[in-house]
Amino acid sequence: MDIESQPALIKKYFQQVAALTAEQQAPFLDALPVDIRDEVQQLVDQSACSRAYFQSVSESIFGAEEVIKADPFDLCGSSIGDYRVTEVIASGGMGVVYRGLDMQLQRPVALKLLISTDGHNAVGRQQLLREARAVSRLSHPNIGITYGITSSERQQDVMVMEYYRGETIQQKLDNNSIEPAKIHAWVLQLLSGLKHAHQHGLIHRDIKPSNLMVTEDGSIRILDFGLAINGNDGAVRQGEGTTAYMSPEQIRLQPITHATDLWSAGVVLLELAVSVGWLDRVNAYTWAQNPAISSNRGPQWLQQLLNQLLILDAELRVATPAAISKPSASVLLALFANIRPWYSAAVAAVVISISALALEPVETPIPSHKVVSLYVEAKPTKAEQAFIFELNQWLKFVDGNSPKLSYLGIESNQQPLEGENVRLTLSVQHLEAGFTAKLTATNDQQQPYRRWLRHTASVHPNLVLQDLRSELALFLEIPLEQAVALTPSASFASLEAFKLMTQVNGELAAIQQQLITDLDQLTHLESILIKANEMESNAAIDTGLATIYRLRYEHDGAIENLQMAQFFITSGFTKDRKLLPAYIEMTRILLLKGEVATAITTLSLALDLYPNHCDLHFALAETYLAIEDITALDKALQVYQKVAPFDWRVYNLLGKAAIARDDHNEALKQFKHALEIRPNQPFIRNQIAQIPSV
């Protein structure tokens, strides 16, 4: 065997065996070559020993244990300086924690010692000293208190800490004693303690249930700062932390910030929510990419906190504490109702101060029924056009599925639309590394309700849109499963293809609103989609190409363009039979081919998938108008008007139906109604101009 390759093989086999259960490890090790097996076995034994120590210390450092622990130093009953050692709390291969009594102040303490302070444990000694120094800089009711460092007669370093009676969150999880009503308060206290640590430059790096103590008075204490680092040095230490609670950047060994603790806090919250049945059992990374994966929803505050903590992008996550809504005075009083009296007066003063501030609202009251428009600047960027197209499609879909929402559509007029009480304004920067999107919700006086800022890199192409949809779903009171799980648009694996497709979608939507088709622009968009198709074969790209060829056919009547449109839309359907724009495009192509029955069947299939999507109801009504089936048109419009009463296209079609019946007065009435909703829509003005004088 090549000598140089042996260390690499040892590392490889150790990583494999470490992922196995104890029962699986023995046969795996037996199958290894003898010279490799002994080395790997030693690593396994050593890692098991160290894991046992840190687990026992972190889970039991301040908690009472019924099981008697070994006393490796034979210190019980003796003294260390001014402290009488009374019992062992936890012990392991590298250290031991005793309960003690401060004989001068007559208070219980916890005493943490290392098994050895010689050379082979120098790293552990430095960790103990680092932890003591780190925590000594902090003074917060949700952070465990360290009194100082002393030495035993054997010159062993001893960290002296406050002793807390209670259970860790991990112990509560293990014995199924989590009380759902207390979870919100626990998490807010955890975030408050983390904010204090972060303000003092510390990153904990090991936030997990076993490091969070619930004391007898019900408050949270963050414990074990042994892995804490200075947040200003961007240090990375391989293998430090607990994998299940590590942030994405921590696992990838990238420079970390305070945001890594926020991710870990989110994982703890997710675990608590699962334990009480609020959410289905799900991995944090999976939830971060698709919150609707859980069929259970839990309280609204839970969704909001998880959306802010479990963000894959650390740059967005780091701003979370400022974004989390401040609790009201009543919530604060409830949080601190059982906290020790030595700072209750200070808490009361803070609550009074916050109550006074609450008299001056920081947010505009949100209407119970939201009549929403999506505002577009006069000259939107291509990225903005793309994102507006996607959000427009999604809002049309959820409009018919939410009793608390009516969607007016896209508008570019500075004046609010008729009935509008929520205006969404989107600003998007299209960057090399992805997108940065800012979305603002205001009322008709442009007073803000909410603001969101999102950024995505190459990690997940649809992250920004998905994240914005989830946030909007909470704001608009739309069930999250509708926000994500049933979004009628395509998913992309390639970020570059996604960028190109969203750009084309935005421009195609604008072209179809124009009275004259720009053939040169269509050729340009076709070249973009061909480039995107080289990166990824996707149904949305095929649908875009079909639209381009259909628009060409409508302009010049060349049959080869219609044939190419049919080819691409058929190709799209073979890749994704749930893509809503493909159904609508297929219907338009079939109507141009004269295949009316097939077009109506296609729309019926789409309505089975998305029963309340206004675009489908519009397409169905438009189809009946095209074949002059006025009876079917009237029935379709009745359903359409019920689904989307604020959609200007309903009244535009009602006007066209009135013209088909030679009822020009009714037509004028309906067109004017459509124009009230969409004042700058050229199609409506053009139709009014063509009505004979009545």
* Catalytic (active-site) positions: 206
Give the Å distances, CA to CA, from 153 to 3, 69, 128, 557, 595. Answer: 47, 22, 18, 98, 96
Residues 6+ apart with CB under 8 A from 36: 6, 9, 10, 13
Beta carbons of 301 and 294 less than 8 angstroms apart: no
| Ramachandran bin of 157, using left for φ above 0, alpha for ψ from -120 to 50, beta for the remaining angles | beta
- Other C-beta atoms within 10 Å of 416: how many? 20
The widest CA-to-CA distance across the chain, in whole angstroms, is 108
Strands 422-431 and 370-375: parallel
Q: Is the dihedral of CA 238, 241, 242, 246 positive or negative?
A: negative
Q: Half-sphere exposure (CA, 13 Å, Cβ side) for 183?
A: 27
Beta carbons of 83 and 161 less than 8 angstroms apart: no
Q: Name which of 686, 635, 676, 677 is nearest 657 in CA terms.
A: 635
- C-alpha 6/C-alpha 76 separation (Å) is 46
- C-alpha 146/C-alpha 142 separation (Å) is 13
Tell me the residue type at 64: A
Cα 473 from chain centre: 12
Cα 168 from chain centre: 27
Beta carbons of 339 and 217 less than 8 angstroms apart: yes
What's the token pair of residue 677? 């909703």
Strands 79-80 and 83-91: antiparallel
536 phi/psi in degrees, rounded to 5:
-160, 130
Beta carbons of 508 and 548 less than 8 angstroms apart: yes
Give the Å distances, CA to CA, from 45 to 39, 52, 92, 375, 600. Answer: 10, 11, 14, 63, 69
- C-alpha 593/C-alpha 595 separation (Å) is 6
Beta carbons of 142 and 217 less than 8 angstroms apart: no
Give alpha helix (H) positions in 483-579.
495-511, 519-535, 539-556, 559-575
